[in-house]
Every structure is written in structure tokens, then in C-alpha cells.
Amino acid sequence: MDGRKRILVFSDAGGTGRSYHAALDAVNRERRVHYLVEPGWRADAAIQGLGRTHRTHQACAPLFRPVTTDIHGEKRFLSTIARRLDSLGALTRGERRLAGAGLFRAQDNLESPWARRALLVLYGALAWGELTTFTLEDFQTKTGLSLMDAEGQLRGSEDLPPINTFLNRLLALQIADQNALFAEFEAILSGVLERAAASGQLDHGVEDIAAEDLEVLSEEVVRTDAATGAETRLVTFSLRTRRELLSAEAALSMGEALGSAAVYAVNGRSGRAALVELGLTTADDNDRLLPAVRLRRPEGRSLETAKVFEESAWAAVEVSAWREAWDAEVAATDPWRSREVTLATGLLLPVWARLPGRGAQVRRVKAPDGRRWLGRVLDPAQVASLKSALGLTSLAEAWSDGALVLGETVERGVQLRLAGGLWLRRARVMDRWRLEVVGGAGDRDALVALGCFTEIIAYTLRVFVPLDRPEVVASVVARHAVEQALEPGA
């Protein structure tokens, strides 16, 4: 604390009651760099140790650095702390991110539901011979885990070895085998998490939206608790936030680090540029392993299957042409993003079961003047469904807007059950999305009179709604009222 020694080593014995932080009344007020060398198995003990250098009345916060060797099996121990910190945060403050102080990422928790799904993908890849580092026979011999049943088929998900058994057996392998097998598992987990994040299913905990400009467009009380008088409100904001754009120099540095796995591509249709990372994997809805590529763009990134990428308009170009397209897109992009966000805020517990179960996003909106709102983010369809569930509007009234129906069905994949036994859902025809009235052949004449069109596909008459005419959609749901809305994947 006086700066006479540059390094302090302490164990669990010094993890309680001591202060090693950059205190304002200490001689040494430099930033501490705290290396977590042996996290142990207890999350509360880890928090106590980390709390020695991160305390109140400090000049600056420390840098926390978890340490592992290049033996990948050691991540098993950090995973246990990450999982228990997640649980500790959920039990204490209702926000997992607070307990871990943002120290661990989603991929550090190897015992999460996403890691369990990645393990099932790995087991399937072993059974079908899709891994390059391990065969099924080698895996079963070296780990002692059996993946096949008596008939030589892959066991059901409930009968396959669980994630903790897999991780413990991983530690018993030779170092080269540990690293090779864990690298395969980590690559699969990364793809699963990236896909989950893109679909909005990955829970990052409470995230902040710090707006440069904020305007409250509407505020509506949808429920008032009879006992306490606490209110549940829907608040819609107009936000302006700064975009984080990746420069061409930064993208080129990433490409150099990737080496031969990087491709500089330009889309032949849109003229947009992307840095393409080859050699990745992802999983489909059936947990089958698929080759994949990652497209890094000036604003964000996406993971696509290799097949979809090869069939698209992306093509490799010279670096000079790629950079010209990249710089042109960055220059043409508005540095500010304007959007509308609707929060369900206030007393949420009584209505939690009526909020969407998938893609739950909790956000804290911060205004420039210091005002804050904390709540669940809802899209227009979810707002309509919530109002209908609370009896404020009927489901038919909530889905009367043709533009809303188009956006939710075609872009998000919401399915609407209509009166008369019809369904309104998107369908892929000739590699493009369409909005189909399933079961509409019996009411063909009336639907065509409203503006719909028909096609015979595979000897079957099908009815479609034009995507560029919201008024036609509104007429369809006015004739056949919406009776049920199903979220994607339901």
C-alpha cells in the first residue's frame, strides 16, 4: 500500500478482512492488476479474494485477469466459478452480471444450457465421423464414455454423458488430446452462442442503453396492483445512439491475424464489403454440425453456413477493391442510429408469465439528463400480445395494422392463426420469403378480390399476400380475424 513492493501474493488466508486496493489515503494509488491464478471451487471465496483490490474509497478500479495455462482442460475450473457466480448473482441482486463483475463471458461457463447443446452437437459429430481430430472409437476408448446403444445408434440426449462427466473425463486425457478435443468443443460452442446471440435468445443480463438524445413518445399504465398500487407501464422511447463502426484498418489487422482463413469479399448485388473468416462451424435446428463462415461488416458480424455463403452473391476481390468498397460504406453510414424502443417497466412480476418467454432482453435506458428506466424490451407484436392478454384490447384489434403483421410474420417468423381455420405464415419460395395464407384455397376468390395472388406449386394451389402492400394484409386480417399469435419456434 506504500509502494515499497510491486508484487503481492496472497492466498485464501488473505482473502478476508484485508485491503489491497488503490485507496485514496494510501501512498500507492496506482491501478492494481489482479491475477486470479487458482480460483478454487467456491464462488463466494473467489468474490472475497477479488474484493481485496476492488473496494470503495479507491482512486481507480483494478484490472482482473483470470489465469490459465495452455492446457485447455484447466478451463474446467474457471467454468465452475463462472457458473457459480452466475447463480450467486441471480440469487443475490437479480443480475448475474453484478456477481461476476463482467469477469467471465458466456463461453466461459461450460455448464450452461448452451454448452450442453454444443456437447450434443459434438457427440453427433463424433458418431457421424465429422471431426478431424478424433474418431468415435478413439473417443470412447480414451474417455471411457459410451455414446452408442446396443443397436449401434447414437443414444438419446437424456442417455448421453452429461457435460460435467465429459469435462472431468477430459482432464484425464493426455495434454495433446485434451487440447485437440477441447478446441473442437470450443469451436462448436462459439458457433452455438453466436447463433443464439443473433436470434436474441442469449441472455446477457442487464445491459445499458446510454442515449445521446432521448424522447419519451408514449407512456401507458397497463396494470395497477390492487394491494400496493404499484403500476406496470409500457414506455416507448425514441433514442439516438452512436454507431460503433469498424474501420478498414482494423478489419485489415483482423485479416492479417487470421492469415489464410481470411477472405476479402464484396457482394455483387449490393456492393458491400465484408471480411470473411473461413473454417468455422455452426449447428442447425437438428443439432447437426455444419461448416460455417463469419462475415465481419463495418457494423456488426454474422455467422452463415458455408453452403449459404457459397450460393450468395459474395465473391473474393483484391484488397484494394475491397478497401474502396469498405471505406465507401463507412463514409455513407450515418454515425448515429435512431430507433424506437418499448420497455415494460415498473411492477413486472404479476405479468411476467404473460411476457414472451423467448428472447428476453432486460435493458436499462439512460437519458442524458440522468433519468433511468429498467425493464423488458418488447417488440410491437409482443406489446400487442401483452395488451390482449391483459384484456386491454382484443387480439384482432392488436393485429389490425397491416405493416405490423408484415414485419412480424415475414421478418421475425411469427405465425398467426386466423378465423376460419387459416394461418398466416412466411414461406420460402424460390429462395425468397413470401407471406402465405395457409388453407386459403377454399376462400380463394374473396382473397384474390382483396389483393392476394395465387400460384400452383407442386400441383398445389397456394395463396400469397403481396409484401409491398400492407393494406392487403390489413384487409385479410379484417376478413379473417387473428385468433392466436405464435412466436418463432413455438
- Cβ atoms within 10 A of the Cβ of 59, count? 14
Q: What is the mean pLDDT of the chain?
A: 85
* Rg of the chain taking only CA atoms, in angstroms: 27
What whole-number percentage of the chain has pLDDT above 90? Answer: 35
Query: Of the candidates 346, 378, 410, which is a domain's last residue?
Result: 378
pLDDT at 453 over 60: yes
State residue 454's pLDDT score: 94
State residue 75's pLDDT score: 76
In a domain, 385, yes or no: no
Distance of CA 63 to the CA centre of its chain: 26
C-alpha cell at 213: 438524445
Strands across the sheet containing 362-366: 207-210, 362-366, 372-378, 336-346, 231-242, 213-224
In a domain, 433, yes or no: yes
pLDDT band at 64 (very low <50, low <70, confident <90, very high): confident
State residue 95's pLDDT score: 40
Sequential DSSP letters for 172-218 = TS-HHHHHHHHHHHHHHHHHHHHHHHHTT-S---SEEEE-SEEEEEE
State residue 94's pLDDT score: 38
E-assigned strands of 20-71? 33-36, 63-66
pLDDT at 281 over 80: yes
Please state, in angstroms and rounded to a whole number, the distance separating the CA atoms of residues 433 and 113: 31
Please state, in angstroms and rounded to a whole number, the distance separating the CA atoms of residues 252 and 389: 51
Residues 232 and 278 in one domain: no
Residues 370 and 318 in one domain: no
Residues 453 and 320 in one domain: no
Alpha-carbon separation of residue 385 from 395, 415, 476, 479 (angstroms)? 7, 13, 19, 20
pLDDT band at 49 (very low <50, low <70, confident <90, very high): confident
Residues 291 and 304 in one domain: yes
SS3 286: coil
Residues 180 and 147 in one domain: yes
pLDDT at 96 over 50: no
Please state, in angstroms and rounded to a whole number, the distance separating the CA atoms of residues 361 and 313: 33
Phi-psi region of 32 (alpha: psi -120 to 50; beta: other; left: phi over 0): beta
In a domain, 272, yes or no: yes
Whole-model pTM? 0.67
Please state, in angstroms and rounded to a whole number, the distance separating the CA atoms of residues 98 and 89: 6
In a domain, 301, yes or no: yes
State residue 238's pLDDT score: 92
Residues 185 and 319 in one domain: no
Once rounded to an integer, what is the mean pLDDT over residues 432-439?
A: 91
Residues 349 and 364 in one domain: yes
pLDDT 10s digits, 112-131: 888 888 999 999 999 988 88
As for how many domains the chain has, the answer is: 5
State residue 40's pLDDT score: 67
- Give 416's strand partners: 424, 485
Residue partners of 49: CB distance under 8 A and separation at least 6: 10, 12, 15, 36
pLDDT at 412 over 90: no
C-alpha cell at 185: 468443443
In a domain, 383, yes or no: no
Q: Which of 27-31, 248-252, 347-351, 422-426 has the lowest mean pLDDT?
A: 347-351
Report for 19-33, 289-303, 430-444: range of highest mean pLDDT: 19-33
Judge contact between 11 and 52, C-beta under 8 A: no
What whole-number percentage of the chain has pLDDT above 70? Answer: 90
In a domain, 40, yes or no: no
Residues 272 and 181 in one domain: no
pLDDT 10s digits, 247-276: 999 999 999 999 989 999 999 988 999 999
State residue 99's pLDDT score: 39
Residues 372 and 226 in one domain: yes
pLDDT at 47 over 80: no
Query: Of the candidates 294, 310, 332, which is a domain's last residue?
Result: 332
Judge contact between 191 and 281, C-beta under 8 A: yes
Closest of 41, 40, 22 to residue 30, by C-alpha: 22
C-alpha cell at 329: 460504406
In a domain, 262, yes or no: yes
Residues 368 and 227 in one domain: yes
Long-range contacts of 270-275 (CB under 8 A, 24+ apart): 270/313, 271/325, 271/328, 272/297, 272/325, 272/329, 273/297, 273/298, 273/322, 273/323, 273/325, 273/326, 273/329, 274/314, 275/251
Amino acid identity of residue 234, one-letter, is L
List the domain range (segments joined by +) for residue 363. 207-243+336-378
pLDDT at 363 over 90: no
Residues 328 and 341 in one domain: no
In a domain, 426, yes or no: yes
State residue 387's pLDDT score: 83
Residues 224 and 363 in one domain: yes
Query: Of the candidates 347, 378, 409, which is a domain's last residue?
Result: 378
pLDDT at 81 over 80: no
Residue partners of 187: CB distance under 8 A and separation at least 6: 280, 281
State residue 8's pLDDT score: 92
State residue 472's pLDDT score: 93
Please state, in angstroms and rounded to a whole number, the distance separating the CA atoms of residues 428 and 400: 24
Judge contact between 83 and 111, C-beta under 8 A: yes
